[in-house]
Amino acid sequence: MFSLGKIDNVEIIPAPLAGISDAAFRLILRECGAKVCFTEMMSAMGIVRATKKNLSLIQRDTDKGPLIVQLFGKEPEMFERAVPIVEENIRPVAFDINMGCPARKVVGSGSGAALMKDIRLATLIVKAVRSSTKLPVSVKIRSGWDKDSLNFLDFAKMAEDEGASYIIIHPRTRAMAFSGHSDWSHIKMVKEAVKIPVVGNGDIRSSEDYLRMKEETGCDAVMIGRGLLGRPFLIKEILDKDFVPDSKYLKNIILRHIKLAVLDSKHPEREIFKIRKHIIWYTKGLKNASSFRSELVSITDPYLLIKRIEEIFSE
């Protein structure tokens, strides 16, 4: 565990997930024990060029807790200009530079994991962010572009040399995307190569996975992404070995999520569509869940949705 600014003993960090890490989900994660959360990754260029129509990009929402803003892009100047805008409007506790997103649209623009092919440009981006803020700055990397270009150690050392406060490594290549298995030995290699804290990321689905990653790699903290989908309380399970979620707890956390995401929203008719994927993840494996998921696509009334959740758990 390590300290992130004024936040001490950070053990678990929820990963930034596109289309997932909104205010409602972050509030659920905080209630499950997360000390700090990431925003969804934000385009540095999009922030700089924000118009009145998309100012929501740089406005604080209902989640007032400690936030790390993850930026992506390919132009150092845009990062340099975006950072003070974010600081003024969102007031994050730290910044992260995305050099790991494998999405075709992001990589195709020269951003995300595409930066793993150009350490010169990546260096200029880290310099630009570090020169623009006094807040902690991290870099999230992958093992490399593909199996023939495993340059994660070069990137980790570069990040340290350029003043990064810590490094996050997801030990898959861009070519792997999210397939196969992450190679935790890469996390250990980074930990042994640098003096700054290292956060390990990849394939954490249980408390046992968390403990094994810590033991095998020596990483300072663990980032969890897809393992939290439908199980944000995995954080609570890791932090409290006596905690065992039962069906009542699961029902209550689903209803809590619906309240935060839909009922408390200014646009419940829009948010009810977005909450569906979460409910599918939450109810996976439950009795009668498959028939309920088929019904879910036709439910547009949040109160009917709540009623059906109550019924599912009473059967």
Catalytic residues: 101
Rounded distance, CA 278 to CA 180, Å? Answer: 24
Cα distances from 112 to residues 90, 133, 139, 154, 204, in angstroms, run 22, 21, 11, 17, 22
Backbone angles phi, psi at 61, to 5 degrees: -110, -155
Token pair in block for residue 245: 């979620």
| Beta bridge partner(s), residue 154 | none
Q: Which amino acid is at 265?
A: S
Q: CA-based angle 162:50:29, to the nearest 5?
A: 65
What is the maximum span of the chain, computed from C-alpha positions, in angstroms?
Answer: 59
Rounded distance, CA 68 to CA 274, Å? Answer: 23
Rounded distance, CA 33 to CA 66, Å? Answer: 13
Lookup result for tokens 């403990």: 211
Q: Where are the alpha helices (DSSP H) in the chain?
A: 23-31, 44-48, 76-89, 104-108, 119-132, 152-161, 184-193, 207-217, 234-239, 247-258, 268-282, 289-296, 302-314
